[in-house]
Amino acid sequence: MEGSNVKIQLLIIPHKGKRKNVIADKFSRCFLITEEDIKDQYEDLIKKCAKRLNGAWATDNKDRIVVKGNKSVDLIKGFHKMIGHRGISVMYNNIKECLNIRNSISVLRKVANGCKICKKYKILNQKQAGKISMKAVDPFERISSDIFGPFSLLDFKTSGEGETGYVLSITDIYSRYTGIQSSISL
């Protein structure tokens, strides 16, 4: 890449804890649930949905709780929501050891495919027909760019500089070569 005048500058972003970085903390920190909490919620779901015979759970020969009829759909819907809208195989692997649901794969598929949240937010791993992919045959034939920011520069500020900064990223599609430039203005 002869004649390239791309200036790369290292930008160090220090961690700001507690109240100094409220927005980032909201996005990067998750509410932590212990395994015991999940088991308790799971047991509550089963108690609501599983059929009881003379005060005992109906079980099969593998000591799995038998869930029949429409109760299985209610149970799977609750479980699907509880574990964070995971897919069919993850749900199946979680329930196969402890629950006996007739046609469990089809019930799981029905619940997962009917979930409005999953339909709205999940990314399909299938190639969309008719979409044109950006392919480049030669270097610098196609480039892409992104602007990140504004970032607070109060910790790095010297007299005469702005309070916010931006980062410009330019990528050559052919070689995936990426250049990064920081700036205090757009």
Task: Specify the pLDDT at position 171.
Answer: 92
Task: Specify the pLDDT at position 161.
Answer: 62
Closest CA to 73 of 48, 38, 39: 48
Task: Specify the pLDDT at position 9.
Answer: 61
Task: Specify the pLDDT at position 91.
Answer: 87
Give tens-digit pLDDT for 116-127. Answer: 988 888 776 666
Task: Specify the pLDDT at position 146.
Answer: 92
Task: Specify the pLDDT at position 147.
Answer: 92
Q: Domain residue spans in the chain? A: 32-121, 133-183
Residues of the chain with pLDDT under 70: 1-42, 45-57, 124-134, 156-162
Task: Specify the pLDDT at position 25.
Answer: 47
CATH code for 32-121?
A: 1.10.340.70
Task: Specify the pLDDT at position 95.
Answer: 84
Write down the pTM of the prediction.
Answer: 0.45
